[in-house]
Amino acid sequence: MGALILCYHHINYGERIDPEIFEENLITLKEHNFSPVKLIDISEHIVNGKELPKRSVHITFDDGYADNFIYAYPLLKRYGFFATEFIIANRIVSGKKRANYDELKSMNLTHTIEQMLKDSQYLSWEEIREMSQSGIFEIGSHSLNHNACFSSDKIRKFNNGNAGEWFYAYTQDKRLGIPVYEKRWECAADCLRDDLKLRDYLSDYVKRQGGVFFFRHSNYKRILFKKYREYVKKYRLDMYFEERYKRILKIKHEIADSKRFIEDKIKENVNFFCYPWGDYDELSKSEVQKAGYLGALTLDVGLNNRRTDPYLMKRVEVRGKKNWLKNKLKIYGNEMLSSIYSKIYHKI
């Protein structure tokens, strides 16, 4: 049977997975006889045929949130699981060392956690080094900056004030009504530069219609698509894809430089890369190999076995509902069912 890799992000109250659900997940894995293994073990199974326990599982965390240190770290230690923390290198802070939940509980200080996370929602290098040295965590790269870009001219929605951090970082524009096109990780697609005059046209219209109050209309999307079509009839869309060489430079920077940067900080080898948003193509995959990583992880679903490409390892992104993982293990505890499921659902 192949190895199961689980994907988490935040472990915190009010986020994707709260600590009680995370603990329930670990107990569920124990009850279903899953054996904790390290990511290097799965890689060596894929590449060299190393034997693994029948039901092998590894846990990963994307982005490098501080709540992984506070809440997840002591639970992993308690239940005996291994994990990889994939960090966005340029978001990691310095000079900060927070206590984990068990330490805070012993001091009757758990009420301070919210304040501790206000200072920075991301891990510090001091915390990362402790995690790496614990034998529980391995540190991997999730790129230097985790930036996205427009990957096509297909409009997904219009900015109503909730387009996402990636959108504001790419466009440098928070005006209401401007188009939000399909996105991908900036290293896995040729990036589209959109029409700035179209932005002006749509944002001016929304402003005249009451700004934020315009979005109270149930059909606001249909109205804005109509205005978009009016613009296209009047003017030629001024859009273009960036030159390929610019993407190649970004790829080398985000993939190879992040490896060197993290290794310099933690004095340990960084063996694995995790594609932001699970996005990859042959070019970005090739650069991960050239940079010296032993493997890379996607968000394609399924188990990992000898037929798996080590640079396209599969994961299951865990949801926050009670018993969600228990129900999914009916699929991922069975090689045949997992194979069928992964062919139907590319990502989950």
Same domain for 61 and 180, yes or no, is no
Same domain for 132 and 280, yes or no, is yes
Position 245 in a domain: no
Structurally, the chain folds into a number of domains equal to: 2
Q: Indicate the residue type of 210.
A: G
Of 65, 56, 61, 64, residue with least CA distance to 38: 56
Same domain for 259 and 297, yes or no, is yes
- The residue segments making up the domain with residue 10 are 4-144+250-344
Same domain for 110 and 200, yes or no, is no
Predicted confidence at residue 321, as pLDDT, reads 87
Same domain for 46 and 138, yes or no, is yes
Same domain for 29 and 106, yes or no, is yes
pTM of the model: 0.94
Same domain for 294 and 339, yes or no, is yes
Query: What is the tens place of the pLDDT at every residue in 292-319?
Result: 999 999 999 999 999 999 999 999 999 9
Position 337 in a domain: yes
Position 190 in a domain: no
Same domain for 71 and 16, yes or no, is yes
Same domain for 15 and 132, yes or no, is yes
Give the CATH number, domain containing residue 94.
3.20.20.370
Same domain for 93 and 230, yes or no, is no
Position 324 in a domain: yes
Same domain for 139 and 26, yes or no, is yes
Query: What is the tens place of the pLDDT at every residue in 147-177?
Result: 999 999 999 999 999 999 999 999 999 999 9
Same domain for 22 and 96, yes or no, is yes
**Weakly modelled stretches of the chain, pLDDT under 50:** 348
Contact 74, 130 (CB under 8 A): no
Strands 148-158 and 137-141: unpaired
